[in-house]
Amino acid sequence: MLDRRCFCCTLIGLVAWSWVAWLDARRCPAVIVAHLTPSRAAAGERFESDLVLAGTADAIGDVIELINLDIVQSTINAAALTDYSRVRFDARPQFAPWHDGQQFGSGSSGFESQIVLDSYLPDEPIPYEITTTDPFAVGTLTFDYSGLGMQPGDTVTLDIFGRDDGSATRTTSIAVRASGESVTMLVNPEFSSPNGSEKSVFRITAIPEPGSVAFLAATLWGVSACHRRRRVRCAKPARPPRRGRR
């Protein structure tokens, strides 16, 4: 017969084994891949890049509930970006209800470089279920570099990698609920897409000086006015000769 000490040891072993088996049986959320598309010039002194996510094959059926996006690693040339309000985020229609309108640079102290997209923001939550491995765009980041005195060859780098803040995940992270589970887990996205990475670099090309722009506009206006006057003069009918008095 087992004495009480042996029985207790056996019971503790069974409980520990059951706990480990339960942890093994729980499926962790699969990998979420994120990237920024190559930058493209926009109207004015701006450029754009899209935030794109994709799930791996074993992520099909998982649900994304929240996206925390941090651009703290972004740079202008080699200097860290400090004016985060130069970056605007516009969510795609499917994710627009997740965004409360808060922009980079407007958060509380220490969180100015972050925005949050929350599927539970609407009265009726609308999480995003991953149904394929196809990438899907979440929104567009637009950087306004006007007034910075940028020169041709200068670069601006948008970076969404985030930083370590002492928690289990970086400041750019995604809340995912595995298929069939009731618990949501915060995970780090991977930046392994062949279509881009956590960075999108924009290189400045020639920027016309304000004086040059004004001179060019005045010149074009003058040429246009001259052409208009010439056309009016040419179109004006000739005056008939005066008849002499009889």
- Tens of pLDDT, residue by residue over 111-142, are 999 999 999 999 999 999 999 999 999 999 99
Tokens 């289990």, residue located: 168
pLDDT for residue 145: 98
Residue 33 has pLDDT above 60, yes or no: yes
Lowest-confidence region among 8-22, 33-47, 196-210: 8-22
Residue 226 has pLDDT above 70, yes or no: no
User: Are the C-beta atoms of residues 153 and 43 closer than 8 Å to each other?
Assistant: no
User: Are the C-beta atoms of residues 150 and 207 closer than 8 Å to each other?
Assistant: yes
User: Are the C-beta atoms of residues 134 and 113 closer than 8 Å to each other?
Assistant: no
- pLDDT, mean over the chain: 83
**Which residues does residue 48 pair with via DSSP β-bridges, in sequence order?**
40, 142
Lowest-confidence region among 17-31, 162-176, 189-203: 17-31
**118-121 long-range contacts, CB within 8 A, separation 24+:** 118/65, 118/66, 119/64, 119/65, 119/66, 120/65, 120/66, 121/97
pTM metric for this prediction: 0.75
